[in-house]
Amino acid sequence: MDFRMGGGTASNSSKWDWKTIALVSVPVAGLGLGVAYYYFYHRRSQNAEKGKKKKSVEESTGQSSQEASPPPSQQQQQQQPATPLEAALQVKERGNKYYRGGRYDKAIECYSEAIDLCPPDQSDTLSTFYQNRAAALESLGKWDDVERDCTSALEHSPRYTKALARRAKVLKSRGRQLAKESASRIVPSLPSKAFLRSFFMSFSEDPVQREPIGSDPFSAALQALSDGKFDQLIGLCEEALKAPVHSNGSAQTPSPTASAEASQAAGESGDEPQPQEQQQEQQAAEKQSYLTPYRRDLCRLLLATLQLLSGQPLSAEPTLKSLANSNDVDRSVRANALIKLASLAMQAAMPGQTDVLTDSVLGHFDRALQLCPDHPDAHHHRGQMLLLTDRLDEALVHLTKACEGAPANPIPAVQRAYASHRTGSGANALDQLRRLTEKHRRCGEAHSLYAQALLETQQFDEAEKAFKRVTELEPDSGTAYVHQGLLRLQAHNDTEGGVALIQRALEVEPRCEFALETLATIEVQRGNLDAAIGLFDRAIALTKTEAELAHLWALREAADVQLQLARDMGLRMPSLAAGMHQAF
């Protein structure tokens, strides 16, 4: 979903490159699973959209590499140039012909000769020669050499956009490699409390949250969940799962009749009967030491959910599959596990894949609805995924069913109104969002999506008021502060005010990846590359998935290369840095 500031219709007079800064926009807090999904989908959609653009093969000729050309004729080769520059250009043209004929090794030889022949004061020409050789090297997959030649091209012509774009492509490839390497070193950690509150609120039929707290080993985890002590949950679940499971699956205290019969039997056997009160105390104590099969399944479900959220998919997936596939598990537990498996499948989609709603993802929702027809959470989260991937008509169908199944939950209703606004078919959608904010005054999601819709219609003052309301409702959530900061930059061109708001986001939510990446991107725009690299490093340390790691590593590498280039050449940074990141 394009949750960009103002729907990409910002004034062209702004000094900020909004196509760059808005790349980091994510849905406002309160979208539950949607917040987690958005990074993956949006990065992938950007990459794929750029991949649709026809590849530029040879900068000076503009011809396709598929146009096979014969090698240069002997007569052409024997023409004598009048000057060293003419000699270099002639050899370059010979390289172009080899390139178009697919003879990349020969083209590289020619471009290298042209570089050697070219007078050193011909910077623009040398830049083109290096860029042409980089194009031929790219065709052979020699990525380190491509980056070297792109850098050389930029040394001669710092604003050569085609060299910037080609080097950005190399850096993206390097980013994917670095992501693979660093993915194995991800330190499991839960996201912020604000995110976790929104996540759990997005489930209206969660069997874990509906379960009474009780007094068994699982009760401590349920109490911590109720109290919002999320950092304790994994340890409490792991401890609870050490408890034995009651053999008959019943945690009920035996009835008084059964207790009397047991006492009578004890008397007949010669054992001294125990008072009924003492027996009940003993049974209550035993009850506190074991789990019923159902509560054990709930504990496993909660633990797997937390593992999924903390960046441990390999730990979460087997448990979720085991719960989803067992006929001995309650259907509500199986359905919830399937919804979370859909999340896992969507996150596992490879970088560059545009259709992340694969058969695997949608199949999990289908199975959940087969187990529990009209399950509101299955419809809600399916509709939410469809909304995030711009399949708006389908999203409206499922969000409507979610509203029908859980009329007390305001979040599907708000998202349905926003989806209607996005389609452009709901004439009163914006007014409907406003009414929902009045009906659900304490629902941050309502105010957030209303603010987003106002931004998309360029109603900046009203949007700012709505975002301020979100910060009042969710004072420990950084997301609304980031949106306010971007609004200040876009609508008012207030750099200092915008940056201050984004820094405020990190004060209230130090682990807010959205704020870190946004601020890093702004610092790149401002030419503060040292600061940007530090912020990218902090965001990388918090990232939980390989796809987002690849994106962040590519941006970080771009900033680092640009910083080194600027230091080597004594260049001013703002324009150069902005040009580099426009290629992303």
pLDDT score, position 531: 94
What is the residue whose two structure tokens read 């022949």? 117
464-496 pLDDT tens trace:
999 999 999 999 999 989 999 999 998 888 999
Q: What is the dihedral of CA 405, 411, 416, 417, to 10 degrees?
A: 130
pTM score, whole prediction: 0.70
Output Rg (C-alpha) for the chain, integer angstroms.
30
Looking at the chain, the whole-number percentage of residues with pLDDT higher than 70 is: 73
418 three-class SS: helix
Structure-block tokens of residue 13: 């007079």
Q: Is the pLDDT of residue 575 over 60?
A: no
Segment 307-315 mean pLDDT? 91
Question: Lowest-pLDDT range, 171-185, 212-226, 278-292, 371-385?
Answer: 278-292
Structure-block tokens of residue 274: 């125990």
Q: Tell me the C-alpha distance between 353 and 459, whole Å.
A: 34
Tell me the β-bridge partners of 245: 291
Structure-block tokens of residue 129: 């020669």
Q: Is the pLDDT of residue 6 over 80?
A: no
Q: Tell me the C-alpha distance between 148 and 138, whole Å.
A: 11
CB 297 within 8 A of CB 329: yes
pLDDT score, position 279: 60
Q: Which residue, among 40, 52, 25, has the nearest Cα to 385 in the 3D structure?
A: 40
427-451 pLDDT tens trace:
688 999 999 999 999 999 999 999 9
pLDDT score, position 527: 87
Backbone angles phi and psi of 245, in degrees to 5: -100, 130
Q: Tell me the C-alpha distance between 111 and 146, whole Å.
A: 13
Q: In which element (H, E) is residue 529 found?
A: helix 529-542
229-288 pLDDT tens trace:
999 999 999 999 999 998 654 433 333 333 444 444 444 445 555 566 666 555 555 556
CB 37 within 8 A of CB 345: no
Q: Is the pLDDT of residue 519 over 70?
A: yes
Q: Is the pLDDT of residue 32 over 80?
A: no
pLDDT score, position 23: 26
Q: Which residues contact 95 (CB under 8 A, 6 or more apart)?
A: 106, 107, 108, 109, 110, 111, 114, 132, 133, 136
pLDDT score, position 325: 97
CB 433 within 8 A of CB 449: yes
Q: What is the mean pLDDT of the chain?
A: 79
| Per-residue pLDDT band at 319 (split at 50, 70, 90) | very high
445-469 pLDDT tens trace:
999 999 999 998 999 999 999 999 9
pLDDT score, position 284: 55
| Per-residue pLDDT band at 424 (split at 50, 70, 90) | confident
**Which part of the chain is CATH 1.25.40.10?**
84-185, 193-199+294-574
Q: What is the dihedral of CA 75, 80, 85, 86, to 10 degrees?
A: -50
Length of the chain: 584
Q: What is the DSSP string of 439-457?
A: HTTT-HHHHHHHHHHHHHT
Q: Which residues contact 165 (CB under 8 A, 6 or more apart)?
A: 583
CATH number of 193-199+294-574: 1.25.40.10
What DSSP designation does 192 have? -
Segment 353-377 mean pLDDT? 86
Looking at the chain, the whole-number percentage of residues with pLDDT higher than 90 is: 50
Q: In which element (H, E) is residue 308 found?
A: helix 293-309
pLDDT score, position 569: 61
Question: Lowest-pLDDT range, 18-32, 97-111, 197-211, 363-377?
Answer: 18-32
CB 316 within 8 A of CB 1: no
Backbone angles phi and psi of 291, in degrees to 5: -115, 145
Higher per-residue pLDDT: 418 or 554: 418
Q: Tell me the C-alpha distance between 265 and 31, whole Å.
A: 59
Q: Which residues contact 186 (CB under 8 A, 6 or more apart)?
A: 311, 543, 544
| Per-residue pLDDT band at 141 (split at 50, 70, 90) | confident
Q: Which residues contact 530 (CB under 8 A, 6 or more apart)?
A: 563
3-state secondary structure 18-62: HHHHHHHCCCCCCCCHHHHHHHHHHHHHHHHHHHCCCCCCCCCCC
pLDDT score, position 67: 38
Q: Which residues contact 499 (CB under 8 A, 6 or more apart)?
A: 485, 519, 522
| Per-residue pLDDT band at 311 (split at 50, 70, 90) | confident
205-232 pLDDT tens trace:
999 999 999 999 999 999 999 999 999 9
CB 453 within 8 A of CB 420: no
Q: Tell me the C-alpha distance between 568 and 246, whole Å.
A: 71
CATH number of 84-185: 1.25.40.10
pLDDT score, position 349: 62
Q: Is the pLDDT of residue 5 over 80?
A: no
